[in-house]
Chains A and B, each alone.
Chain A
Amino acid sequence: MTEHPHLEIHNLTMAYGDIVIQENLNFTVKQGEIFVIMGGSGCGKSTLLRHLVGLIHPAEGNIFINGVNLWQAPQVERNEIISHSGVLYQGGALWSSMTLAENIAVPLMEYTQLTEKQIADVISYKLSLVGLAGFEDYYPSEISGGMQKRAGLARAMALDPDILFFDEPSAGLDPISSRLLDDLILELRDSLGATVVIVSHELASIFAVGDQAIFLDSDSKTIIATGAPKELLESSDNPRVRRFLTRAAQGSMETEVRTYV
């Protein structure tokens, strides 16, 4: 579609006040790619995601979406860019005072001129995509955690986004549900051609869906490995990456404990 990569990160530094979380981050995400951001707990994966979706202003560096600098664009244009991306938060982040149908209707009413009938059609179609057909009138508190997550995905897809962000999609799901969600992500990418960015430390799902990945390290505060997850597993010579990808089957456990505890 464009000659620009879908998402481009230049020299990004993330910091809370004076505390630097990660610095000198450089990577690009191609159109239609499933890109995984991995790393141990507390290394700043979710913070990076919050930067990418425009929730946090970077301390330094630039984020380009389709070649447009997110933070130098005027507010109107930034909202426009952000409305083309869908985000699935860890717990689903559904609005608890609204039914599933109302949750999905909010972005549709805000950004499109669809009639009520059309909105109702889109809602039931999106819910059927995530396997929740007929659950329109349920409140988030009345359905299970996995269903909330899928409903969150239906809401994220409401506007047919061309880029989808997932924060820990498999967290809190049983292995079967998490496998189904992975399949769903792959299906959606293949059929919609959307770019997908996933934050995860779930090895099974990283290997199942990831085309490209970066590994964030909390000690050196930057990216220590880039590449396809399977290749990293086979050929990375970085001991930290190897330990992570093999669940510490290789490398010394003691250093592991010292690093993360």
Chain B
Amino acid sequence: MSAVVHEKYILDPREAGFCLQLTGDWRFSDGIPDIEPLLQRLSAEPTRQQLNFDGNQLGKWDSGLMTFLVQLIEYCQQQQIEVKTAGLPPGVQKLLTLAFAVPERKGARRQILGQPILTKIGNVTIEMHRSWSDLLHFIGEIILSTLKMFRGKARFRRSDLLYQIEGAGPSALPIITLIGILIGLILAFVGAVQLRLFGAQIFVADLVGLGMAREMGAMMTAIIMAGRTGAAYAAQLGTMQVNEEIDALKTMGISPVEFLVLPRLIALCITMPLLCIYADFMGIIGGAIVCSTMLDISFFQYFQQIQNAVPLKHFIIGIVKAGIFGVLVATSGCFRGMQCGRSASAVGYAATSAVVTSIVLIVVADAIITIISQILGV
């Protein structure tokens, strides 16, 4: 049978085996020839049980040549053809020795199999159950640590608490100002267009005052803080998890919940009601701007109307809600952070799911509180 001739190699039968002569440059940039014709030729004459190389004409080479040779040799090993690399340049020989030095570990390679749908449902259910019991465990730990704190025994650094309060309070004022005023403006504007039809412009003040005090003030603050602070908590604790900082606390016998979660929780419990009051006033000011410019209602009239229409209890309900939302945001942020895996992408996932969890919890809690206050008649 004849030789296989290619511009880069010649494979010809010689003595009892084959000889592969390599010529020219063998780099990826020069183009690596297809290996199939070679393999076919080798298998065409199974009596020839040896492969020699001639690399005298070989020019420049890189991993392109190496991957070619590795495939060739693997094929020869399957076909029980003996390979003699002596004719190759010394560098290539050494790399080949290195590449075949450690055999592939059995069972290391993975088979990615599709799972049947029932298995998937089962896995998701088990995962959900685990995640819920984790959450309950975490809440339990928080409650125990809080009780400990009331007995004056919780261990955390006061400077941490002050730092967290600063981060979750004063630094949030600019964004709360902006959103608060805009929400007030929008409420007033929507109300003004409708109420003007009945000549009832003055009730825009009632609408804005009630809306901000009972619902929007607390709700908007909570959503802003979920995105701003809740996500930050998840990312901070998640990164600490990645850096084994949380493990360091545990091995010193310090509860991470006491040391890290409690200051954050307290900080949000303190700042959220205050931010909510601030947001309420910003919203009312926003409404005042619309009333005075669009509806010819003076500031004095506007505030007089709000004072009569919105008794203090509405503000108090809003503030209590804000406190509850604060607990929810801090808990879900810290929970997702503590749950975080040990990689960079896990930190991103923790931050995302912290925001999603907080917002879901906020809306659900708001609905429950509204129903309860309806039943109680407040």
A-to-B contact residues, CB < 8 Å: 95-97, 112, 114, 118, 121-122, 124-126, 128-129, 131-141, 160, 184, 187-188, 190-193
Contacts and interface: CB of A to CB of B under 8 A. Distances in A.
A126 B99 CA distance: 8
A96 B345 contact: yes
Contact of B63 (A125, A133, A190): A125
A112 to B, nearest CB: 6
B46 to A, nearest CB: 25
Contact of B94 (A134, A141, A187): A187
Scoring B63, B67, B70, B100 by chain A CB atoms within 10 A of each residue's CB, the highest score goes to: B63
Contact of B70 (A112, A128, A135, A190): A128
A70 B70 CA distance: 36
B99 A129 contact: yes
A242 B345 CA distance: 46
A121 B67 CA distance: 6
B109 interface: yes
13 contacts: A96-B344, A96-B346, A97-B343, A112-B28, A125-B67, A129-B98, A132-B102, A133-B103, A133-B105, A138-B110, A184-B98, A187-B98, A191-B95
B134 interface: no
B92 interface: yes
A238 to B, nearest CB: 37
Given A125-B70, A126-B63, A129-B98, A134 B343 contact: no
Contact of A128 (B91, B102, B342, B343): B102
Contacts of A134: 104-105, 108-109
Contact of A118 (B67, B94, B103, B105): B67
Given A125-B99, A160-B62, A192-B91, A118 B28 contact: yes
B80 interface: no
Interface string B39-50: 000000000000
B112 A190 contact: no
A162 to B, nearest CB: 10
Contacts of B342: 96, 141
Nearest to B99: A128
Interface in B291-318: none
A160 B66 CA distance: 11
A138 B344 CA distance: 16
Nearest to A126: B63
Contact of B32 (A118, A132, A191): A118
Contacts of A95: 344
A126 B104 CA distance: 13
A126 B32 CA distance: 17
Contacts of B343: 96-97, 139-141
A132 B103 CA distance: 9
Contacts of B346: 96
Contacts of B112: 137
The 3 closest A-B pairs by CB, nearest first: A96-B343, A97-B345, A131-B102
Given A160-B63, A191-B91, A137 B110 contact: yes
A191 B70 contact: no
Contacts of B92: 191
Interface string B323-357: 00000000000000000011111100000000000
A134 B342 CA distance: 23
B344 to A, nearest CB: 5
A135 B108 contact: yes
A133 B98 CA distance: 11
B57 interface: no
Contacts of A133: 102-105, 108
Nearest to A120: B67
A141 B344 CA distance: 11
A174 to B, nearest CB: 17
Interface string B151-181: 0000000000000000000000000000000
B104 A191 contact: no
B210 to A, nearest CB: 48
Contacts of A184: 98
A191 B102 CA distance: 18
Interface in B61-93: 62-64, 66-67, 70-71, 90-92
B94 A190 contact: yes
Contacts of A132: 102
B101 interface: yes
Given A122-B67, A128-B100, 7 more contacts: A96-B345, A97-B344, A118-B67, A128-B102, A128-B104, A134-B104, A141-B341
B146 to A, nearest CB: 34
Contacts of B98: 129, 184, 187-188, 191
